[in-house]
Copies of this chain bind each other. A is one copy, B any other.
């Protein structure tokens, strides 16, 4: 319906000239506009709220009514920064999981699938999302590939012109900022062109400022970037908020942790800080974590448990985010004229969601969607992305030196500590440099899988605790080439071989036996199975990694594998083209002498 006509129907409902389509009666409204909790009825016409009537129920007309007596009414949650791919499930399965938990709108950055499938990956997600009751907004990937072709091979590429085209799409809500902040700080012309165009389009510029302070933080914000989702602690959250940048708050391994909610809330309460610039987000949530703990609802719950005013906590998941994404005309509050995206909750503090209304329709109840989405079939091209030149042999994973040498000094990637590498002596046998479990040093290999070029690079890594066998994955941020990590070249080769024949996912091998595997056939990133199954597969896989291989990194087991190569995070990284120093983007030697 055209804007003017739709608005007119809302007026007509108020004057009794048209019947409402739905009335929610008897509930108690979480009013994010004024930070109050009040009795109110909500009158709905089509996809929007026609009226909010405060006080005791006055509705007497005939139309479908939901009785919310004893329950709370809150705006649907909005997640401003999300990668569905990280949950390893389809958009359909994701909606089935998060909508009943109260997440009615997401801003998805399809960065992972686009690195594999390019523009087609983004279009597939949008197409799939049309079949589910989730408002799917698009974060326009800011830089695909993440690195230049001479540094890394990726499957997809989004040109500057395409980026600008995508920013015009109706779904596009922001320029996504999962990019290396150095691109801004070094004044990459393409990034500034994208920022200028986003400003012209009146859309939001999303970013990340990991540990930036002082001049670097000021420069980054002055460039136009408006949010960051990677703050490590309360101090960083407050620092960026004071500078006018919006902190998107989420807990994760090695950064802001679950216990940090208490510190943050204490700082807010002690100083009566204005929290309007703060929002909750999730970014990457592993499938087993999603299944066990929940999604954005978990952030709200944790903040309230830590002592945050419940209405304030709901603001961080609703109106604050709507303001940030410049969509508050339609989203983020329960007011006349807004989309009727409404949660009916049994309990405010524990975020116990009973029913979910999306755009005026009851879409979820008691933890389930009310109607089953039609399965979305991914095309063949998306299901066959593991393209390698030849079957891997153990010798391909080896670094060779002079046959007479017994030891070499090697540069070892140390992802546990940001900005670090270590140097270690490693044993040489028959000219082959070996990893050393006693020193907690494993071999690591990245192998190109998009163009079957045969490109691959070998190196060493520390901090994983692995003492035998190997693990391989086709999930490997951001280019998602194959990563293999292990103590045995034979097991690494076998794991990669199986991974390719599985069409992607995870494989772990020990002593020539496959111990566990997860198949992710969609782009080598996503399962076609239900979340419950995928979560169980991850639980089993992670358990076996720890139990049988000694796997023991600092954070989430699979995340610590798949984020190892991310040049945004680590100063020393490995790609299919070699080992690089990300501060200079120059290759560095693995063998020092």
Chain B nearest CB: distance from A49 CB in Å? 7
Whether A214 is near chain B, meaning CB under 8 Å from some CB there, is yes
**Closest chain B residue to A246, Cβ basis:** B33
* A196 partner, pick from B4, B51, B274, beta carbons under 8 A: B4
**Closest chain B residue to A218, Cβ basis:** B51
Contacts of A10 in B (CB 8 A): 219, 222-223
Chain B nearest CB: distance from A324 CB in Å? 10
A35-B274, A276-B276 known; A52+B215 contact, CB < 8 A: no
Whether A221 is near chain B, meaning CB under 8 Å from some CB there, is yes
What 1/0 flags go to A3-41 for Cβ under 8 Å of B?
110011011101110000000000000011111101000
**CB–CB B221/A337 < 8 A:** yes
Whether A238 is near chain B, meaning CB under 8 Å from some CB there, is yes
**CB–CB B53/A244 < 8 A:** no
Within residues 187 to 225 of chain A, which ones have a CB less than 8 A from any CB in chain B?
Answer: 187, 189, 192-193, 195-196, 199-200, 202, 214-216, 218-224
**Closest chain B residue to A32, Cβ basis:** B274
**CB–CB A222/B192 < 8 A:** no
Contacts of A38 in B (CB 8 A): 242
**CB–CB B337/A222 < 8 A:** yes
**CB–CB A218/B7 < 8 A:** no
**CB–CB B196/A3 < 8 A:** yes
Chain B nearest CB: distance from A174 CB in Å? 12
* A35 partner, pick from B34, B184, B189, B272, beta carbons under 8 A: B272
**Closest chain B residue to A58, Cβ basis:** B214
Give CA–CA (A43, B277) in the complex, Å: 22
**CB–CB B8/A51 < 8 A:** no
A7-B223, A11-B223, A216-B14 known; A244+B33 contact, CB < 8 A: yes
**Closest chain B residue to A274, Cβ basis:** B35
Chain B nearest CB: distance from A406 CB in Å? 47
Whether A560 is near chain B, meaning CB under 8 Å from some CB there, is no
Contacts of A49 in B (CB 8 A): 222
Whether A323 is near chain B, meaning CB under 8 Å from some CB there, is yes
Contacts of A216 in B (CB 8 A): 14
Within residues 308 to 344 of chain A, which ones have a CB less than 8 A from any CB in chain B?
Answer: 315, 323, 326, 329, 333-338
Chain B nearest CB: distance from A254 CB in Å? 26
A192-B8, A337-B224 known; A323+B323 contact, CB < 8 A: yes
Whether A271 is near chain B, meaning CB under 8 Å from some CB there, is yes
**CB–CB A34/B242 < 8 A:** yes
Q: Count how many chain A residues have C-beta atoms less than 8 Å from C-beta atoms of the other chain.
A: 70
What 1/0 flags go to A500-525 for Cβ under 8 Å of B?
00000000000000000000000000
* A218 partner, pick from B50, B189, B193, B333, beta carbons under 8 A: B50
Query: Among the interface residues A3, A7, A216, A338, which one has the most CB atoms of the partner chain B within 10 A?
Result: A7
Chain B nearest CB: distance from A590 CB in Å? 32
Contacts of A243 in B (CB 8 A): 33, 52, 335-336
Contacts of A359 in B (CB 8 A): none
Give CA–CA (A19, B50) in the complex, Å: 54
**Closest chain B residue to A35, Cβ basis:** B274
Contacts of A202 in B (CB 8 A): 202, 326
**Closest chain B residue to A17, Cβ basis:** B187
Give CA–CA (A335, B244) in the complex, Å: 5
* A244 partner, pick from B196, B241, B336, beta carbons under 8 A: B336
Query: Among the interface residues A38, A54, A223, which one has the most CB atoms of the partner chain B within 10 A?
Result: A223
* A31 partner, pick from B33, B185, B242, B276, beta carbons under 8 A: B242
Q: Which 10 A-B pairs have the closest CB atoms?
A: A244-B335, A51-B218, A14-B219, A10-B222, A222-B336, A35-B274, A3-B196, A4-B192, A221-B336, A4-B196
Q: Give me 30 A-to-B residue pairs in the complex whose CB atoms sit less than 8 angstroms apart, sorted by A's number.
A: A3-B199, A4-B189, A4-B193, A4-B196, A7-B196, A7-B222, A8-B192, A8-B223, A10-B219, A11-B185, A11-B220, A14-B222, A15-B219, A32-B274, A33-B274, A34-B238, A34-B242, A35-B271, A36-B271, A36-B273, A48-B222, A50-B218, A51-B219, A51-B222, A52-B218, A202-B326, A219-B336, A222-B336, A243-B335, A244-B334
- Known contacts A33-B274, A34-B277, A36-B273; 11 additional CB pairs below 8 A are A4-B192, A4-B193, A12-B187, A14-B215, A15-B219, A32-B274, A34-B238, A34-B241, A51-B218, A199-B329, A326-B326
